C-alpha cells in the first residue's frame, strides 16, 4: 500500500467534521413546494438521479442523508436505500431509473430521453468496472469528507459495513492500489473510442451519459488514475452541464 494513500486514509478516518442537521419527521411531512431528492453523495445511482435535474435545470431540494441514518429512509420508503424521490404530489419512491423517467416526464421542459435504451457496449463496459472499482473507491469514500459522513456514527457505519459489502478489508483493498489503478487505466482507455465526442457518448445527451458519468465520477477520488484526454474532457463537461461537482480535491 502506498504510504501516501495510507496516511491520507488514516487522517480522513480520524478527522472530526462539524455535524450537519439531520432530517426530522416534521421536515419529511412538511408541505412540499419542490420535489425532494434524498441521496448519498458517493452513490452512483444517486448521481444518476441528480443528473436529470441538472441537465433540465429543474429546481429541487437536494438532501444528503447521513450514512448511519436508517430511520429517515425507512420512514420514507421502508428500507435503507437511496436515491429516494419525494415528488410534490405523490408518495416517495426508489430506483434511479424510475426517478429519472418520472422527472423527465413530469418536470421542466419536454422529455429529453424519449425512453431510449442504453447501448449494449456501454452496459458491458460498466459491468466490467463493477468487478474492481469498488475496491478502489470504497476505502477512499470511507476516508473522504463527503456530506453523508459528517457525523462520526455515519463514518463508523461505513467502516464497519463496507468491508462486508466488497468482501475485503479496506486495508487490503488499499494495498492493491497499483494493480487496481492499472485496471482503471485500461478501463478508461476502453471508453475513449466509445465516446462520440468529448461532450457526449452519442450525438446528444442520452441515457448512456447518465450511465457513463455516474460510473466515472467516483473515480475522480483516485489520485493515481491516468485519464485519456478525451475522457477527462468528457467528465468535466458533463459535471458542469449537470451541476454535479467532481471529487478531485479529495483525491487520495
C-alpha cell at 23: 432530517
The predicted pLDDT at position 23 comes to 46
Cis, peptide link before residue 9, omega less than 30° from 0: no
CB within 8 Å of 58: residues ≥ 6 apart: 35, 52, 103, 107, 108
User: CB neighbours (10 Å) of residue 132?
Assistant: 17
The predicted pLDDT at position 114 comes to 78
The predicted pLDDT at position 116 comes to 80
The predicted pLDDT at position 19 comes to 37
CATH 1.20.1050.10 fits 120-250, yes or no: yes
CB-facing half-sphere around the CA of 10: CA atoms within 13 A: 7
Q: Are 215 and 195 in contact (CB under 8 A)?
A: no
Fold of the domain built from segment(s) 25-106? Glutaredoxin (3.40.30)
Q: Are 107 and 58 in contact (CB under 8 A)?
A: yes
CATH 3.40.30.10 in the chain is located at: 25-106
Is pTM beyond 0.85 here? yes
pLDDT by residue for the chain (252 residues), tens digit each?
A: 444 444 434 334 333 333 344 444 444 554 568 999 999 999 999 999 999 999 999 999 999 999 999 999 999 999 999 999 999 889 999 999 999 999 999 999 899 997 789 999 999 999 999 999 999 999 999 999 999 999 999 999 999 999 999 999 999 999 999 999 999 999 999 999 999 999 999 999 999 999 999 999 999 999 999 999 999 999 999 999 999 999 999 999
CB-facing half-sphere around the CA of 131: CA atoms within 13 A: 8
CATH 1.20.1050.10 in the chain is located at: 120-250
CB within 8 Å of 66: residues ≥ 6 apart: 20, 22, 148, 149, 150, 151, 153, 154
Question: β-pairing, 61-64 with 84-86?
Answer: unpaired
Rounded to 10 degrees, the C-alpha dihedral 197/200/204/208 comes to 130
Q: Are 86 and 92 in contact (CB under 8 A)?
A: yes
Dihedral sign of CA atoms 118, 227, 158, 83 in order: negative
| Spatial separation of the C-alpha atoms in residues 9 and 195, rounded to whole Å | 33
Dihedral sign of CA atoms 246, 136, 208, 97 in order: negative
Residue 175 buriedness (CB in 10 A; 0-12 / 13-18 / 19+): middle
C-alpha cell at 3: 504510504
Amino acid at each position: 500500500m502506498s504510504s501516501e494513500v495510507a496516511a491520507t486514509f488514516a487522517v480522513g478516518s480520524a478527522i472530526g467534521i462539524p455535524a450537519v442537521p439531520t432530517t426530522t419527521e416534521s421536515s419529511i411531512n412538511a408541505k412540499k413546494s419542490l420535489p425532494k431528492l434524498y441521496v448519498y453523495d458517493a452513490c452512483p445511482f444517486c448521481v444518476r438521479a441528480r443528473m436529470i435535474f441538472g441537465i433540465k435545470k429543474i429546481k429541487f431540494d437536494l438532501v444528503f442523508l447521513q450514512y448511519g441514518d436508517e430511520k429517515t429512509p425507512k420512514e420514507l420508503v421502508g428500507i435503507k436505500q437511496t436515491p429516494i424521490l419525494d415528488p410534490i404530489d405523490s408518495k416517495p419512491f426508489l430506483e434511479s431509473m424510475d426517478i429519472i423517467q418520472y422527472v423527465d416526464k413530469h418536470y421542466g421542459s419536454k422529455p429529453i430521453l424519449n425512453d431510449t435504451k442504453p447501448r449494449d457496449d456501454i452496459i458491458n463496459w460498466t459491468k466490467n468496472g463493477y468487478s474492481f472499482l469498488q475496491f478502489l473507491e470504497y476505502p477512499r469514500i470511507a476516508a473522504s469528507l463527503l456530506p453523508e459522513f459528517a457525523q462520526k456514527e455515519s463514518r463508523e457505519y461505513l467502516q464497519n459495513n463496507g468491508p462486508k459489502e466488497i468482501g475485503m478489508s479496506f486495508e487490503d483493498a488499499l494495498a492493491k492500489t497499483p494493480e487496481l489503478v492499472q485496471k482503471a487505466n485500461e478501463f478508461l482507455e476502453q471508453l475513449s473510442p466509445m465516446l462520440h465526442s468529448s461532450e457526449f457518448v452519442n450525438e446528444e445527451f442520452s441515457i448512456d451519459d447518465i450511465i457513463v458519468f455516474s460510473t466515472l465520477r467516483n473515480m475522480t477520488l483516485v489520485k493515481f488514475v491516468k485519464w485519456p484526454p478525451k475522457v477527462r474532457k468528457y467528465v468535466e463537461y458533463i459535471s458542469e452541464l449537470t451541476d454535479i461537482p467532481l471529487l478531485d480535491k479529495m483525491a487520495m
